[in-house]
């Protein structure tokens, strides 16, 4: 399941507030008290100090500390660029709903396991969010429809609703949650030997065994590779030393859109896994490692 960054995200949201406050002040530095007052309730000065230290170390802000203990802060050009990329991603319905699908399915699983009978709208009351932005009713409608069409949930709908009012999780949905798999991963065969035939055009396939599942994989792995490349590029834009990830991810996307050579794709995915395995990207980076490993298993 895709999990959003926590500590890193908190710092980036602090950066966003600093950018907005400085813009409102005519591109002038703002005080620590101003930033603290603009922060969500419950934020204390210690957390704010930690965020500023993180942003300063990444070169996203410039801090002017005074002997009195007060300070003023202003975003650097790097900080403004980083925040612009965060805003682009968090305002993207595609990115937001991609994460929401996993979160909704996991939430539904837990609710049903606890003997509850939730409505789909109950999910919105959990204050679940994507990069600090809460999900909308439109997000819920599109997410429920997507999960229903692909067999992860079931249940009757109502007039004007493309998703179940009281959703239930299917056996397929339960399996994905229990195996901690994203709904965007390619389905894996269970309890059978799989015979993969990879072709680049029309083909007649035959395998003389009743115990073999024929998988006509007409380069379907390309979609998974594109999704991985796009997700890694987005992550690279908002973390320190992101260029170590952006390079192979950009090459991977170009390779898929070009020759799509499986050997080259494998090399680039291995490079991405190696970079992410150092802890880059936190929890989200770990989720992308799992996604990359699944992709490697489907390459011809």
Give 264-282 pLDDT, tens digit per residue: 888 888 888 887 776 655 6
Q: Taking 50 as the threshold, does the pLDDT of residue 190 lie above it?
A: no
pLDDT of residue 240: 65
DSSP secondary structure, 30-41, as one string: EEHHHHHHHSPT
Residue 190: inside a domain: no
pLDDT score for 7 = 37
pTM for the model stands at 0.55
Q: Which pLDDT score is estimated for 195? A: 35
For residue 108, is it within any domain?
A: yes
Q: Around Cβ 57, how many Cβ atoms within 10 Å?
A: 11
> Has residue 20 got a pLDDT over 60?
yes
Which of 117, 148, 178 marks a domain boundary? 178
Cβ 48 vs Cβ 39: under 8 Å: yes
Q: Give the residue-averaged pLDDT of 130-147.
A: 90
CATH classification at residue 68: 1.10.10.10
Out of 42, 70, 90, pick the residue that ends a domain: 90
Report which of 179, 177, 212 is spatially closest to residue 196, judged by C-alpha positions: 212
Residues 6+ apart with CB under 8 A from 231: 288, 291
Distance CA 169, CA 78 (A): 44
What are phi and psi for residue 181, nearest 5 degrees? -105, 145
Residue 203 in this model has a pLDDT that exceeds 90: no
| 199 occurs within a structural domain | no
Distance CA(293)–CA(63), nearest Å, equals: 41
* Residue 146 shares a structural domain with residue 162: yes
pLDDT bucket at 216, cuts 50 / 70 / 90: very low
Q: Is the pLDDT of residue 194 over 60?
A: no
Lowest mean pLDDT among 49-58, 98-107, 159-168, 229-238: 229-238
Q: End of a domain among 126, 143, 178?
A: 178
List the end-to-end C-alpha distance of the chain, in Å, as a whole number.
25
CA-based nearest residue to 105, from 168, 186, 155:
168
Residue 10 has, within 13 A of its CA and on its CB side, a CA count of 16
Report the DSSP pairing between strands 168-169 and 61-65.
Answer: unpaired
Range of the domain at 41: 7-90
How far is Cα 119 from Cα 153, in angstroms, rounded to an integer?
13
pLDDT, position 213: 37
Q: Which residue has the higher pLDDT, 122 or 245?
A: 122
Measured CA to CA, the distance from residue 238 to residue 250 in angstroms comes to 15
Handedness of CA 286, 291, 292, 296 (dihedral sign): positive
Predicted confidence band of residue 19 (pLDDT cuts 50, 70, 90) = very high
Check whether residue 239 and residue 260 sit in a common domain: yes
């Amino acid at each position: 399941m895709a999990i959003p960054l926590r500590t890193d995200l908190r710092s980036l949201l602090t950066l966003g507030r600093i950018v907005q406050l400085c813009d409102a002040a005519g591109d002038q530095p703002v005080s620590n008290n101003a930033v603290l007052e603009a922060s969500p309730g419950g934020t204390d000065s210690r957390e704010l100090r930690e965020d500023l230290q993180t942003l300063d170390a990444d070169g996203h802000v410039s801090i002017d500390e005074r002997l009195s203990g007060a300070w003023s802060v202003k975003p650097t050009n790097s900080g403004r660029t980083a925040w612009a990329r965060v805003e682009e991603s968090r305002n993207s319905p595609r990115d937001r709903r991609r994460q929401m699908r996993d979160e909704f399915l996991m939430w539904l699983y837990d609710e049903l396991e606890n003997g509850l009978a939730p409505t789909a709208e109950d999910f919105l009351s959990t204050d679940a969010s994507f990069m600090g932005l809460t999900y909308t009713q439109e997000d819920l409608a599109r997410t429920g429809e997507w999960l229903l069409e692909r067999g992860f949930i079931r249940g009757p709908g109502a007039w004007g609703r493309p998703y179940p009012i009281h959703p239930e999780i299917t056996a397929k949905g339960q399996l994905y949650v229990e195996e901690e798999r994203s709904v965007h991963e390619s389905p894996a065969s269970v309890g059978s030997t799989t015979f993969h035939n990879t072709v680049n055009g029309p083909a007649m396939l035959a395998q003389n065994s009743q115990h073999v599942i024929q998988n006509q994989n007409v380069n379907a792995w390309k979609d998974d590779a594109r999704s991985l490349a796009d997700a890694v590029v987005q992550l690279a834009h908002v973390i320190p030393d992101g260029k170590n990830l952006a390079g192979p991810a950009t090459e991977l996307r170009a390779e898929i859109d070009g020759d799509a050579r499986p050997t080259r794709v494998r090399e680039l995915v291995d490079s991405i896994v190696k970079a992410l395995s150092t802890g880059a990207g936190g929890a989200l980076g770990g989720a992308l490692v799992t996604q990359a490993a699944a992709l490697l298993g489907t390459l011809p």
